[in-house]
Amino acid sequence: MNIDLQPTLENETVTLYPLQRTDFNLLYEVAADPEIWRQHPNKDRWRKEVFQNFFEGAMKSGGAFRIVDKASGLTIGSTRFYDYNPGESSILIGYTFYSTACWGKGINPAVKALMLDYAFRFVNKVSFHIGSENIRSQIAISRLGAMKTAEQEVTYFGEAPKLNYVYEIDKGSWQLRRQK
């Protein structure tokens, strides 16, 4: 069974909608805040022309989402599934960013739990690329039970390679965590 990389996913906190070309302005309104990108590998993504490249990569990925806060109805960020490998029963989740107004409010754990619950219906391992300087995301993903397993140069769409840490979580570990 193959995974649909862009289903509409929702829980009590957020809805993840498949990213559409018409979502650019909604998403750029969020992405235009330089603070969001301070620890990310490309610190200039707040600039419209740089974000345009990021958005183009998101569209071409076929697995990107626009994240909407259910309480307010506002677009608050984006994330995506990518590099699905049925032979290795694995997929990556990443390219995630949120409005600073959402930081520390439980949005990231809600989004990641939604995506992990869905992904583990199809794969046994989920990995994450996290920029080596992105301490905030490293802490957040560790809190979900993912473990750092490697360091890797990652070339983001249309950008120079950057050092990333690879974090992983397997299906069994996630299921145990969800039972607690």
pLDDT per residue over 124-137, tens digit each?
A: 999 999 988 889 89
Tell me which residue range forms the domain holding 23.
9-179
Report yes or no on 96 lying in a domain. Answer: yes
Kindly report, residue by residue over 67-78, the tens digit of the pLDDT: 999 999 999 999
H or E element at residue 16? strand 14-18
Q: Give a yes or no: residue 2 inside a domain.
A: no
Whether residue 109 lies inside any domain: the answer is: yes
Q: What's the domain count of the chain?
A: 1
Contact 172, 155 (CB under 8 A): no
pLDDT at 1: 65
Domain presence at residue 4 = no
Residue 73 is assigned to a structural domain of this protein: yes
The predicted structure's pLDDT at residue 15: 98
In a domain, 155, yes or no: yes
Lowest-confidence region among 4-8, 133-137, 171-175: 133-137
Q: Domain holding 42: CATH number?
A: 3.40.630.30
Q: How confident is the model at residue 153 (pLDDT cuts 50, 70, 90)?
A: confident
Q: Virtual CA dihedral for 63, 56, 99, 125, nearest 10 degrees?
A: 30
